[in-house]
Structures are given as structure tokens and as C-alpha cells.
Amino acid sequence: MGRAEQTPTPGKPIVVTDETFFDVLETYPLVLVDFWAEWCGPCHMVAPILEVLAKKYTGKLVVAKLNVDENPHITLKHQIRSIPTLILFKNGQPIEKIVGAQPKHVIETKILKHIKHSPRT
């Protein structure tokens, strides 16, 4: 976990693949993964919300995007049957799952349950 504490989190969503997925989960203690596809209208509705949350929680949360059409291994492993699906991972383990396009406050409430509060939050 020492590596995770020293690695700064980006202030915008990052793209993950079947090959990089586990590296990202090992590198960062709190990762919100967006399972999406280019053809998915609701996925495009959620994307701007995730951009805002990635910036707002820089240093505390990484938002990662995984295209389900291009990355079938991770998609199957996590039994993604509907998109968008968001899974919040803490220390590599799934702890929250949000299925469907949800408003910002719903997504943010799930995240806040797992972020250590500081005066800036």
C-alpha cells in the first residue's frame, strides 16, 4: 500500500483495459470504475458527472473508464449485464455497485461513505 499512498491521483478519468485494470486497482486505494460503451446513450449522460467527481476528489479517488466492448475479460469477471455500471473499489475489492444512469448526488453519496473526510471535502 505504500505505493498507493505515494502515487498522486489524476484529476480526470483514466482509461483502463483488461491489461491495465488490476494495476490501477493495486496503485490507487479508491477507484470508481465506469463500465461503458460508445453506443450507450445513458453512459454519455454519466460521463460529465464522472469528470466533475474526478476533479473534485483529486488525491482521494481515481475515476477509471472501461469500454465493455473492447475489454470482455474484466466485463465478464464483474458480471456486467447492463451499462452504465459503476463499481467502487477500495484496496482492490468491490465495495459499491451502481447500475444505470444515476444523478450526481447518488454517485457522490456512495463515494463519500468511503473517503476519509478532511476540511477540504
- Rounded Cα distance, 29 and 15, in Å: 17
78 catalytically annotated: no
Give me the catalytic one of 16, 31, 33, 43.
43
DSSP 28-81: -SEEEEEEE-TT-HHHHHHHHHHHHHHHHTTTT-EEEEEETTT-HHHHHHTT--
40 catalytically annotated: yes
- Rounded Cα distance, 104 and 92, in Å: 23
Give me the catalytic one of 16, 25, 31, 40.
40
Helix H or strand E segment including 94: strand 93-99
Contact 40, 80 (CB under 8 A): no
- Active-site residue numbers? 40, 43
